[in-house]
Structure 1
Amino acid sequence: MLAFSNHNFTQICKIQAFLSSHSLKQHSFTKSNLLKPQNFRVVCAVGDLGQMQKVEDERPKIRWVEINLAEINEAQRNHISRLPKDMTNRCRALMKQLICFSPEKTSLSVLLAAWVRSMKPVRADWLVVLKELENMNHPLRLEVAELALLEESFEPNIRDYTKIIHGYAKQSRIQEAENTLQAMKNQGLECDQVTLTSLIHMYSKSGNFNLAKDTFEKMKLLPLPLDNRAYGSMVMAYIRAGMLQEGEALLQEMESQQVYAKSEVYKAMLRAYSMSGDSVGSQRIFDGIQIAGIIPDDKICTLLINAYVSAGQNLEACVAFENMRRAGIKANDKCVALMLDVYEKENKLKEVLDFLMDLESDGIMIGKEASEKLARWFRELGVVEEVELVLRDFVEK
């Protein structure tokens, strides 16, 4: 057997348990619905940095006992009832145990060892269980995946390690991700783009820009050309670090190689420029979005308009709004509110009434943000009743 270190184990530990047949009969878990181990002895050696070591294992046969639905709570029964109908019995048996798992009654490693010995699973069975745990967002899914790496029946490959690293990265559990990475290297598996991309995302989200940059440089040394995900991960790192010009330069490098980032990367860059009031940078990214073949939607157009309004370029904001309407894109509430800001700054009451009527003719209803902004402006001017009469007359016509 192999032992694998995670966040619960950072030093060498030794566990020795001797249970006689007589004492087992009187033990409190004799009537449990989980596992019935007999003589049990494990010496587990776990090293640092994900080191995997040979350990002594003198486990006897462990009797598998099915879950008794009458002795579990309603929530657990509901989870079990929602398991896929086509799931095999051996997979269903393990899923029931995991749904009802209690660390006070047994350990996860003992549970999985009992399943392996009793059910003789193959890789396909492991994958079914791991997928279902992922679908359920089960809190033990990563720990189960880690322990699966140690089983010959799982037949682990590099992508199995990558999925665990990615899972820890999404939770910003940096140490666990790095431990898994080290364990993967110890098995003679080299990092690929997918693995390094996950690490860049993790480092940038946690504010470790230098680690993200170093990882990207390592990725550039790989024999294969970088894809849009690899580039995109580093662009996002630049955005999170507030280095927008460097991120934009990387976008341009991608475009020169006819590799285009995903829409969410362009949107993130546009949002960053827009929130900083940089209308020039926002327009460049907006043009790049179209070059990349991404069709602008109402949110993208609103970010561009927001940049012009923030920069005090009201005419450009109006032009961008009209271009959006000519393209057949309906303005959202935020966009309408921005245009109201433009009219209010220039104190154009008549023009704003024409604007509102124009929107009404296009079937665009004013939302909460725009309504509140409009009401505040009209109250300050003291013309609420007059405006209501004009709008009512327009509706009647």
Structure 2
Amino acid sequence: MDDSAIYFLAIVGVFFLQKVAIFENRELGFRPLLAVSNVAVHQKGSAENQVNDKPRYKWVKIGSDVTEEQQRAILKLPPKMINRCKALMQQIICYSPEKGSVSLLLEAWVKSMKPERADWLAVLKELDRLNHPMYLEVAELSLLAESFEANIRDYTKIIHGYAKQNRLKEAESVFLSMKSRGFTCDQVTLTALVHMYSKAGNLKLAEDTFEEMKLLGVPLDKRSFGSIIMAYVRAGKLGQGEALLKEMEEQEIYAGPEVYKALLRAYSMSGDSKGAQRVFDTIQLAGVIPDATICGLLMNAYIMAGQLSEACITFENMRRVSIKPNDKCITLLLKAYETENKLSKALDVLMDLERDGVVLGREASELLARWFKRLGVVGEVELVLRDYASNCTLLN
């Protein structure tokens, strides 16, 4: 056999043994994240070492070499947390990539501590409480461990976690992984996806996912409707969002206050007073009591539409039902009166507010000062600014 043939067989043999080393890492169900770097090291050794030497996590006992910050974090671990969970938490708190991948850390923990689902959940709960940067990575890797006994809600939590951070690719990857492992999509999971696509501004995917939810044949709840309505609001398709609100009403389902406010705000900012008034009426029919913020949005819609008298009437209705106006509402009222040059009327309202204990805020005070300055009333400007400064001192 010539030298070239011997060299070729040697290369094939090394490649085969490398594959053996890689697949052996699937023993506990974790992905072999360090397999590539491990193969590079194996190539320097003998064929026998390549088979026996597997990538490992360097599990070093936590001692005096930890930093003060790490020590404080360790001391804050729940006293009732059992030792095997504390052992993993200490390793995570003191983790560095030089010790090995997170996947191998968890594999080492599983092999030595034999955790049950309750142990996994205790660790994840603590990482979530600490808002630890490794929380989602550990949570996703835990899905691969048999001892974790993953269910569909575990996947949903991770999808929702990635969605909150606008990490769409990771969320979609977990979703596809969930489906590949035979879990059936349900309303909760799909709602999380609609919410994610909505936040990301991807209306098409949000609509497609919402339609998939409808095909499940189960009644949709306010969270499902709310997520797609918010998608329409963010896309500027307010009519479609409002149509869904009506569909909800017909089914006697009512959205959360934040959904109504978002739709009202969108109509307000675009100066669509009719749309704003419709949503304002819908809010009350849904049993949501209007506050100063909601009333201010309606006032703003009227002012942007040039309907100043309606804005003033909205303010008067607020006071009639004992809703205390905030600084934004007062500023909008002053803007309406300034546009119509009704200084006397504005001062009358301000005196009434003062008798009721309502203090002018920064925005309203500055608008009033500019108005006085434009009229050439310098003394009154100084008085307004001085009163605002004294009010701020009292409030602080």
The structure-2 alpha-carbon separation of the partners of 1:321 and 1:110, relative to structure 1 and needing over 3 Å to count, comes to same
- Whether 1:100 and 2:97 are equivalent positions in the alignment is no
Residue correspondence of structure 1 range 29-48 to structure 2 within 5 A: 40-41=53-54
Alignment of 1:321-360 (within 5 A): 321-360=315-354
Does structure 2 retain, via aligned residues, the 8 Å contact 1:63–1:118?
A: no
Aligned to 2:156: 162
Shift of residue 202 of structure 1? Answer: 1.5
Contact 1:17/1:41 (<8 A) preserved: no
Q: Which has the higher helix share?
A: 2
Map of 1:49 onto structure 2: none
Change (3 A) 1:385 1:346: same
Q: Which residue of the other structure, out of 69, 83, 86, is the alignment partner of 1:89?
A: 83
- Is residue 234 of structure 2 the alignment partner of residue 240 of structure 1? yes
1:293-332 to structure 2, matched below 5 A, reads: 293-332=287-326
Contact 2:194 2:227 in 1 (8 A): yes
**1:268 pairs with 2:262:** yes
- Quick check: 1:2–1:150 contact (8 Å CA) kept in 2? yes
Q: CA RMSD in A?
A: 2.4
SS at match of 2:80: coil
Alignment of 1:1-397 (within 5 A): 1-3=28-30, 15-16=38-39, 40-41=53-54, 64-68=59-63, 70-385=64-379
Q: Which amino acid aligns with 2:262?
A: A
Write the distance in 1 (CA, Å) between the matches of 2:127 and 2:193: 23
Structure 1 contact 80–99 (Cα < 8 Å) conserved: yes
How many pairs are equivalent?
350
Residue 130 of structure 1 aligns to a residue in which SS? helix
Instruction: Please list every run of 5 or more consecutive structure 1 residues that lacks an aligned counterpart in the other structure.
Output: 20-38, 43-58, 393-397
Q: Deviations over 1:162-206 (max 9, x none)?
A: 111111111221211111111111111011111111111221222
Q: In 2, are the aligned partners of 1:4 and 1:146 still within 8 Å (CA)?
A: no
Q: Give the match for residue 5 of structure 2.
A: none
Q: Quick one: structure 1 residues 387 and 99, their matched pair in 2 at CA, closer, same or farther if it must change by over 3 Å? A: closer
The letter of the residue matching 2:54 is R
Q: C-alpha distance in 2, partners of 1:389/1:187? A: 71
Task: Give the partner amino acid of 1:349.
Answer: L
**Displacement of 1:338 after TM fit?**
0.5
Distance 2:71 2:158 in 1: 28
Q: Displacement, 1:301? A: 1.1
| CA–CA separation in structure 2 for the residues paired with 1:197 and 1:391 | 50
* Partner AA of 1:119 in structure 2: M
Q: Residues 331 and 379 (structure 1 numbering): CA distance in 2 closer, same or farther, change over 3 Å?
A: same
Distance in 2 between residues matched to 1:342 and 1:307, nearest whole Å: 12
- Say whether the 8 Å CA contact 1:174–1:202 is kept in structure 2: yes
Counterpart of 1:264 in structure 2: which amino acid? E
Q: Structure 1 243/121 Cα, relative in aligned 2: closer, same or farther at 3 Å?
A: same
* Alpha-carbon distance in 2 for matches of 1:3, 1:86: 29
**AA of the residue aligned to 1:66:** K
Q: Report the Cα distance in structure 2 between the residues aligned to 1:386 and 1:108, rounded to whole angstroms.
A: 67
> For residues 221 and 390 of structure 1, what CA distance do their matches in structure 2 show?
61
2:373–2:381 contact (8 Å) kept in structure 1: no
- Cα distance in 1 between the residues matched to 2:154 and 2:245: 30
Q: Which runs of 5+ in 2 are unaligned?
A: 1-27, 43-51, 387-396
Q: In the aligned structure 2, how far is the partner of 1:170 from the partner of 1:257?
A: 29
- Deviation, structure 1 residue 229: 0.5
Aligned residue identity for 1:117: K
Cα distance change on mapping 1:195 and 1:351 into 2, 3 Å: same
Asked whether the 8 Å contact 2:295–2:318 carries over to 1, the reply is yes
Deviates most, 245-254 or 85-94? 85-94
User: Percent same amino acid among aligned pairs?
Assistant: 63
Closer, same or farther: CA 4–208 of 1 in aligned 2, 3 Å: farther
Q: What's the CA shift for 1:82?
A: 2.1
Cα distance change of structure 1 residues 113 and 66 upon mapping to structure 2, 3 Å threshold: same
Higher relative contact order (CA 8 A, sep 6+): 1
Offset at residue 4 of structure 1 (A): 5.2
Distance across 2 between alignment mates of 1:310 and 1:390: 26
